[in-house]
Amino acid sequence: MKFELIAQDGRARGGRVETEHGSFDTPVFIPVGTQACAKAVTHKQLKEIGAQIILANAYHLALRPGEDLIAEFGGLHRFMSWDRPIITDSGGYQVFSLAQMTKISDEGAAFQSHIDGSRVFITPERSIEIQERLGADIIMAFDECVGYPCDKDRAAGAMRRSLDWAGRGLAAKTRKDCSLFAITHGGVHADLRKECTESLARMPFDGYALGGLSVGEEWEQTSEVLALSNDLLPREKPRYLMGVGLPQNILDAVEQGMDMFDCVLPTRNARNGEAFTRNGRIKIRNEKYKRDGAPLEEGCDCYACRNFSRAYLRHLFVADEILGLTLMTQHNLRFYMRLMEGIRASIRAGRFAEFKAGFLRET
């Protein structure tokens, strides 16, 4: 993997990441395809929307259909017929949020599968093995995620265990075409974040992610972690803020030097009938849209806005038609792609602050 820093406006950065399966421009929003697909849209639609890279989840794919089966098909790109970059999450967050009867030790995480109740044990080495079998372009170090609030002793223990696991994952990595990112931890405690980030920055990772955020803390606390991390992370490597998806939070994080983002928010909200627009969110089931002939958003170039009215979309949701989910998902993802395109253009033009202010004023 190669990361090129192309432009900088204040702390906001514009760059490009080259991988074995093509490049993507940063700052970038990564649609979530947990089960090797983004819900309610085809891969062709994802490309038309402007998605340059997607995320799949090693935890889910290892449980079903299994990394061995995917490897038989030549890896995740061939299995899912996606010829652009793929990033896989290591599964640390899913062990924290989904797994039952989890027991974490220095060796690894033992848990009960949320699918069939079977016992599973994942070590940092096993996580790397799974992700290399999947063949993603960017893979993540296995980490221990804790929620918020979390006392400092508990946060410190998880942070130091994640540090140890990161080193073990780095030693276990064998494939040169899979770039490995470390994940920083320490909760909202500045001294723990500093210790973790400085330690990981001394290791030869290809990029760095910020984990253990978006777990209940206030955005102001997250922002403090971002500011601290910007000063400590290597300038020449990409920075990935995991699980953050509100547009205003993405803008704030870009302003603090972050390059990569992912979140289920645009697709999940779409399936629940909520559209993101420059004029605020639209809950399409509301009665006021029953005879509304306008598109979801004037000026939007997505397929839904170019062809269908709010009245028709409301009808689809009220009638429980699958097409409604697809059209709304296409719109929300295109909204995010347009946001990132505007961010990138404004950074290169030296006008990011102006772009951010204008966006927030409209929404």
Q: Do 216 and 283 have their domain in common?
A: no
Q: Do 330 and 252 have their domain in common?
A: no
Boundaries of domain holding 35: 2-263
Q: Do 160 and 88 have their domain in common?
A: yes
Q: Do 157 and 289 have their domain in common?
A: no
* CA 48 to centroid of chain Cα atoms: 20
Q: For residue 339, what pLDDT is reported? A: 98
SS3 at position 161: helix
Total count of domains within the chain: 2
Q: For residue 114, what pLDDT is reported? A: 86
Q: Do 130 and 181 have their domain in common?
A: yes
**Would 363 be classed as within a structural domain?**
no
Give pLDDT tens digits for 128-139: 999 999 999 999
Both tokens assigned to 228: 């601290």
Q: Percent of the chain, pLDDT > 90?
A: 94
Q: Check 9, 89, 137, 252 and give the catalytic one.
A: 89
Burial of 71 (0-12, 13-18, 19+ CB in 10 A): middle
Q: Do 215 and 344 have their domain in common?
A: no
Q: Do 247 and 295 have their domain in common?
A: no
* Active site (annotated) includes residue 143: no
pLDDT greater than 90 at residue 94: no
Q: Check 143, 206, 252, 262 and give the catalytic one.
A: 262
Residues 6+ apart with CB under 8 A from 116: none
* Active site (annotated) includes residue 89: yes
Q: Do β-strands 100-104 and 239-241 pair in parallel, antiparallel, or remain unpaired?
A: unpaired
pLDDT greater than 90 at residue 91: no
d(C-alpha 35, C-alpha 39), whole Å: 9
Name residue 306's amino acid.
Answer: R
Q: Do 158 and 69 have their domain in common?
A: yes
Cα dihedral 31/56/131/17 (nearest 10) = -10
Q: For residue 179, what pLDDT is reported? A: 98
Q: Do 100 and 124 have their domain in common?
A: yes
Residue 37 binned pLDDT confidence (cut-offs 50, 70, 90): very high
At which of 263, 297, 313 does a domain end? 263
Q: Do 224 and 118 have their domain in common?
A: yes
Q: Do 71 and 196 have their domain in common?
A: yes
